Amino acid sequence: MFLEFVEGPLWYIALTIFVVGVVLRLLDVFRSGVRTDLAPPRREGLGGALRTLVTRSWTAPGFTRGAAFHLVAGYMFHLGLFVLLFFAAPHVLFIEERLLGFGWTPVPYWAFILAANFAFAGLILVWLRRVMHPVMRRISTLDDHLAVILTFIAMFTGCMALFQHHDSLRAIHMLTVEVLMIYFPFSRLMHAFTFAISRSYTGAAMARKGINA
Amino acid sequence: MNKNAKKRTVMRRVLVLILSLVIILPLIPYAVALVDGPGAVPNPGAQLWNEVRQRDGASAGVSQVQAVDGSVFINPYGERWRQFRMQQLVPIGGWLLVGVTAFIALFRLIRGKVPLEGGRSGKLVPRFSVNQRVVHWFAGTIFVIEAVTGLVLLYGRFVLIPLLGPEGFSATAAASKEIHNLFGPIFPLAVVLMILLFLRGNSPNMVDVKWFAKAGGLLKGMPASSGYYNGGQKSWFWMVVVFGIAISGSGLVLNFPVFGQGREIMEWAHVVHGVVAILFITASLGHIYIGTIGMEGAIEAMTQGYVDANWAKEHHDLWFAEMEKAGMVGVAPNALEEVKRHDDIDFKGFGSPGAKQKEG
Amino acid sequence: MPEVVTEHNVERGKEVLKSQIDAKIASYFSSCVHCGLCAEACLFYTETGDPRYTPIYKVEPMRRVWQQENTFWGKLGKGLGILKEVTEQDFAEWQEMLYESCTLCGRCSMVCPVGNDIAYMIRKSREAFAAAGYTPEGLQGATRRALEIGSPMGITLHTLEAQIKHVEKATGWEMPMDQQGADYMVLFSSMEVVNFPEYIEAIARIFHQAGRTWTISSKAFEATNSGIQIGDSGIARELVSRVVNAAEELGVKYVISPECGHAFMAIRWDAPNLIGRKPNFDVVHILEVLDQFRAEGRLKVDSTTDERLTFHDPCQIVRRGGVVEPQRNLMHMVATNFVEMPDAGVMNWCCGGGGGVSAQEETEELRLKVFERKKRQLNAVKPDRLVTACANCRIILEEGLEHNEMDLEVIGLTELLAEHLAEGDTAAK
Ligand code: HEM
Ligand code: SF4
Ligand code: SF4
């Protein structure tokens, strides 16, 4: 019953809230618009936007040491999560059956384990830094902690359900994922989409001034 | 440089210590298992059975199965391992855990919470950096997850089945196993990070011997001198190192049976894993107790990174004296961040001849 | 004429905060993951360890307005009265953070992993604080003087004329005032007129050698723009219009921004947006002009120096202004022993006095503290002389060096070049 509910109606509700919510949030960002820059540019902005979109994935020159913790732990988490999300065998199957109608080759079991290790280690590390580092402590909001906790729980229950013999465990994982999806558009997690907008705006503005940002 | 040379000798000593312990440790359960081994009374009727059970060791047959141990008909060691687990590990481990918990409770009843004799001074002394604190709680988190799921697997059938029923326990056990196996490989990373960030200041010396002789100053009216770490903390650190390596190594052997290890190796890994886990968890109880509710003013060291000056004076007098000399008592709450940019300020003393202040 | 707001008005401040949130800022706030990396880039944080100086924390009032206006939880929280609106105390507290502990250097904007331009947000926040009257007195005074007298330091055309007399005497040439149709119109910063008149002489000699016509406008010779620093676009527009009008009246092809960081920002990058159109001339920085002369062979030197020289990149000219290579080409032209400080160029560290910080007396202690960063940069290369291209940087550097008892001369790049100009062409009598 419970499983049917979380795999049926609740799944569609969560999916709808997620998709509609994200679209509305993105529209809201663009709603306020940006004034066109009238100053004669040194270069066109588009190239800079694309450039910064890519280059900000690494640190600025001479800044790698200051950013080392986030660089390592951050990538551990995000790459790990990415692999789990899109390449874990049960997920690929789910995507094929419930979302797209086609799937792709999942990663082998050992790669899955490795990805999970990285994702958990990275998430715990960045969160611990959040509660330990005076700067992060000062600027963190309830939203940041909630986002971490919900993500952790979703990942954790997913791993609990790995031994796919208990419907109850599977149902719990579905439920926590749906909670996360519903929370997503209202939260900090939006950075997964808006980071591209931010990088592009900054990259374009700086390129017009002749700087590779 | 001088500093580097010193570091290297320390590292070498550490390495030798770790190696010898890693070699000795697995022998302990072996000895335990042997003492209780099968009796040696000859019985002719049992000869055939002994042959089948391969009591004298695995004798391989011939098989089409292409796998490690694929040609062993019956694994004779499995039974020995089962016996060890059910007759020694589970009961002795259980009593150890209960016993130590009771001991801590008793200590609490007699001694109460170890108070700050001088009250709070309101002056801060920096103790652990952000990275140290992050790594500590990282290790702590993984440890607790592994300990809890591990104990579920070891004791669940005695403790949880009555509570959850067989259905509930089945799901709990399945979930625990997956979590245990998934978080397991993270622990070695935690141990390595712990060693990297906490090794400095943890080499034993005569001060520690005296500290132990005075029961660590935990008894009323018998203070014991100590530097940055006291004897108890140093012991805990070295336990983390030794147990951590043993439990990680054995865990990896068990978790990834893809490197050609056979059943016999797996069985030994199991024994090491179980025994060390019990010892590790038992020791952690003491550490967690004294770090949280057992002693006033201790937990801040690992949450805020600072301790109260009176705590430092009462529990780490030698270190406190050095910090005072270095002008590190009564610092602003951003002191840790501020000293970060001066690589050469040794703001912890660590028994070195006074902290050097750089300016120029 | 616009006026400096001194009356506190929180409601107005909140309104302007709201109106300043454009798509960029909405995206920036949505993206910020509160990682704190921007702090590691900001010298106010790295040199004090005080988490309050975290760049993104400096725009906290704006974030709260954004949260309450643009997000679901924020609207809900505001509706239920759980979230506090930005108060008077907040404005008072963040006035200090926005004006005393940020030089708008833009270093933070280079490192944010999600690409936030935090300096832009700070500049926009100042707009609201200026409208609400929460601005430091020092900047208010400077801005008022700029509006009323024409210069933040209160100097007048008389002062300039007196300095020009000296230059005329030294060179024996007449300085071109208000010359219709000259190629270049040259601007100055008050700081140069008062403290570094050598700059004027250097310009005269270099243009003479290059054989290009130039002029000084008696109506608008001041390049600095306190309106930009205090964050009042209305005032900034008024000040910048004076320059635009004067230059268009004289019909010059180019207006040259002097060795001053924010002046370049104001005239080159902000002016068109402030007046709503592109002016009928191009704006170039003096370093760009000199480098162009060099490339065209119009700038000739007859000597070089083997002193160990290093160059301090002014934030607004380099990182925020896009002038990176010209100064390096010019340095190599005269210095055989030119060394770069660590992080030089686009990621250079601010002197600690930009963005109006140096216009406030009360910032001196903090300024000297954050100068530690420059000190370490300098100690890494141990130069004989320090070259820069911003009169304000120069004053701040001299102050910091003196405070630290470091015996190091600071000189403007234009002057350095003038020292080595080929004599034959310039020693006209
Ligand atoms: C989860 C419960 C835990 C708590 C509440 C806790 C608390 C503490 C505290 C307060 C300290 C600082 C002591 C001082 O000021 O010197 C500390 C230090 C330390 N902890 Fe933990 N800890 C926990 C778990 C662990 C675990 C699981 C490990 C091992 C993997 C660990 C390893 C260490 C080590 C090596 C130190 C430094 C040496 C020492 O002070 O004993 N801790 N802990
Ligand atoms: S670096 Fe960027 S994402 Fe990180 S806290 Fe600063 S503004 Fe936010
Ligand atoms: S612009 Fe410069 S001074 Fe201002 S917050 Fe960013 S790094 Fe700090």
CATH code for residues B120-346: 1.20.950.20
Contact B139, B330 (CB under 8 A): no
pLDDT at residue number B6: 59
Residues A40, C272: C-beta atoms closer than 8 Å: yes
Cα–Cα dist C110/C119, whole Å: 10
Range A126-143 average pLDDT = 94
C-chain residues within 8 Å CB-CB of A209?
A: 269, 320-322
Beta bridge partners of B308: B124
The sign of the torsion formed by the CA atoms of A185, A188, A189, A193 equals positive
Q: Does B340 score more than 80 pLDDT?
A: no
> Other C-beta atoms within 10 Å of C397: how many?
23
Residue ranges per domain, chain B? 120-346
Tell which of B127, B128, B131, B134 to mutate to test the A interface (max A CBs under 10 Å): B134
Determine the distance from the C-alpha atom of residue A109 to the mean position of all C-alpha atoms in its chain, rounded to a whole number: 23
pLDDT at residue number C245: 95
Q: Which residues neighbour C19 within 8 Å (Cβ) at sequence distance 6 or greater?
A: none
* % of chain A at pLDDT higher than 70: 99
Residue ranges per domain, chain C? 10-135, 149-294, 300-419
Determine the distance from the C-alpha atom of residue A124 to the mean position of all C-alpha atoms in its chain, rounded to a whole number: 15
Q: Which CATH architecture has domain C300-419?
A: 3-Layer(aba) Sandwich (3.40)
> Other C-beta atoms within 10 Å of B291: how many?
18
Residues B334, C50: C-beta atoms closer than 8 Å: yes
Per-residue exposure over B256-283, b if at least 16 CB sit within 10 Å of its own CB, e if not: eeeeebbbbbbbbbbbbbbbbbbbbbeb
Q: Which residue of C has its CA nearest to A140?
A: C34
Sorting pLDDT into bands at 50, 70 and 90, what band is B75?
Answer: low
pLDDT at residue number B256: 83
Edge-to-edge strand list for the sheet holding C254-257: C214-215, C184-186, C254-257, C282-285
pLDDT at residue number B46: 66
Q: Residues enclosing ligand 2, CB less than 6 A?
A: A 139; C 32-38, 56, 112-114, 116, 118
pLDDT in tens, B288-338: 999 999 999 999 999 999 999 999 999 999 999 988 888 888 888 777 765
Contact B320, B134 (CB under 8 A): no
Q: Which fold has domain A2-208?
A: Fumarate Reductase Cytochrome B subunit (1.20.950)
Regions in chain C scoring below 50 on pLDDT: 427-429
User: Looking at domain C149-294, which of 1.20.1050, 3.30.70, 1.10.8, 4.10.280 is its CATH number?
Assistant: 1.20.1050
Q: Which residue has the tokens 């590779």?
A: A212
Sorting pLDDT into bands at 50, 70 and 90, what band is B17?
Answer: low
Cα–Cα dist C426/C206, whole Å: 8
Residues B258, A110: C-beta atoms closer than 8 Å: yes
pLDDT at residue number B3: 53
Residue A94 in contact with partner chain C when CB distance is under 8 A: no
Of B133, B171, B178, the CB nearest to A168: B171
* % of chain B at pLDDT higher than 70: 72
Q: Is the CB of B193 under 6 A from ligand 1?
A: no
> Other C-beta atoms within 10 Å of B121: how many?
16
Q: Which CATH architecture has domain C10-135?
A: Orthogonal Bundle (1.10)
Q: Nearest CA of chain C to the CA of B307: how many Å?
A: 19
Sorting pLDDT into bands at 50, 70 and 90, what band is B268?
Answer: confident
pLDDT at residue number B39: 45
Q: How many angstroms is it from C107 CA to the middle of ligand 3? A: 6
Residue C3 in contact with partner chain B when CB distance is under 8 A: no
Q: Which of A159-168, A182-191, C379-388 comes out lowest in average pLDDT?
A: A159-168
> Other C-beta atoms within 10 Å of B358: how many?
9
Q: How many angstroms is it from C109 CA to the middle of ligand 3? A: 8
